Amino acid sequence: WMGENDFTPLPTAVYGFVLMAAGVAYLILTKAIIAHQGAGSKLKAAVGDDIKGKMSGLLYLASIPLAFVQQWISYAIFIGVALIWLVPDRRIESKLAK
């Protein structure tokens, strides 16, 4: 849709909303798994404050209004968050191995 409309602001903002919704779903899923595991959750110890997950959602939220200011800023946010998640997260593996 973005490509068919020459990357205009509205499709870019909607794409940012979809990415933000996926980020929120990730946070909800993580919290549900931790709640199901109980107080001694290894996942809770591994994830901690989940700065990476929360920052992703906030960046996607910021990309929505920024799409109407300058679309390239939103694209940079999309690419930046993808690159952040491309780096393997060793927290979970190291905590579960113990």
Mean pLDDT, the chain, rounded, equals 86
Q: What is the pTM of this model?
A: 0.80
Q: What is the DSSP string of the chain?
A: -TTTTTT-HHHHHHHHHHHHHHHHHHHHHHHHHHHHH-TT-HHHHHHTT-HHHHHHHHHHHHHHHHTTT-HHHHHHHHHHHHHHHHS--HHHHHHHH-
14-51 per-position pLDDT tens digit: 999 999 999 999 999 988 988 898 877 777 877 778 88
47 vs 54: which has the higher pLDDT: 54
7 vs 62: which has the higher pLDDT: 62
